[in-house]
Amino acid sequence: MHYPTSRRSLLTAGAALVAAAAVTGQAHAAPARPDRDRLRGLISRMSLEEKVGQLFVMRVYGHSATDPDPADVASNQQEIGVANAAELIEKYHVGGIIYFAWAHNTRDPHQIADLSNGIQRAGLAQPTPLPLLISTDQEHGIVCRVGEPATLLPGAMALGAGGSRSDARTAGRISGAELAAMGIRQDYAPVADVNVNPANPVIGVRSLGADPQAVAGLVAAQVQGYQSSQVAATAKHFPGHGDTATDSHYGLPKITHTAEEWERLDAPPFRAAIEAGIDSIMTAHILVPSLDPAEDPATLSKPILTGILREKLGYDGVVVTDSLGMAGVRQKYGDERVPVLAINAGVDQLLNPPDLAVAWNAVLDAVKGGEISEERIDESILRILELKWRRGLFRAPYVTHAGVDRTVGTASHRASAARIAERTTTLLVNDGDLLPLSRRSHGNLLVVGVDPAAPSGTGGPPTAVLAAAMTELGFAATALPTSTGGQPNPTQAKIDEAVAAAEGRDAVIVTTYNVSATSSQRTLVSSLAATGVPVIHLAIRNPYDIARLPGVAASLASYSWTDVEVRAAARVIAGKADPRGRLPVPVQRADDPSQVLYPIGYGLRY
Output DSSP code: residue 30: P
Task: Give which of 164, 166, 106 is closest to 137, Cα–Cα.
Answer: 106
Residue 322 annotated as catalytic: yes
State the Cα angle at 259 between 209 and 586, rounded to 5°: 20
The three-class DSSP label of residue 550 is coil
- Which residue in 110, 247, 249, 355 is the catalytic one? 249
Closest to 97 measured CA to CA, from 127, 74, 122: 122
Contact 18, 31 (CB under 8 A): yes
Is 365 assigned a catalytic role? no
Calpha distance 308→228 (Å, rounded)? 28
**Residue among 322, 348, 451, 506 flagged as catalytic:** 322
In Å, how far are 239, 481, 501 from 490, measured between CA atoms? Answer: 38, 9, 15
Q: Are 340 and 372 in contact (CB under 8 A)?
A: yes
CA angle 146, 453, 447 (to 5 degrees): 115
> 323: Cβ–Cβ under 8 A, 6 or more apart, which residues?
351, 352
Q: Do residues 56 and 360 touch, judged by C-beta distance below 8 A?
A: yes
Burial of 385 (0-12, 13-18, 19+ CB in 10 A): buried
Give the 3-state secondary structure of residue 443: coil
Cα–Cα dist 130/123, whole Å: 6
Integer angstrom CA distances of residue 145 from 99, 508, 513, 519? 7, 33, 21, 30
* Packing angle, helices 165-181 and 212-228, rounded to 10: 40
Active-site residues, by number, are 249, 322
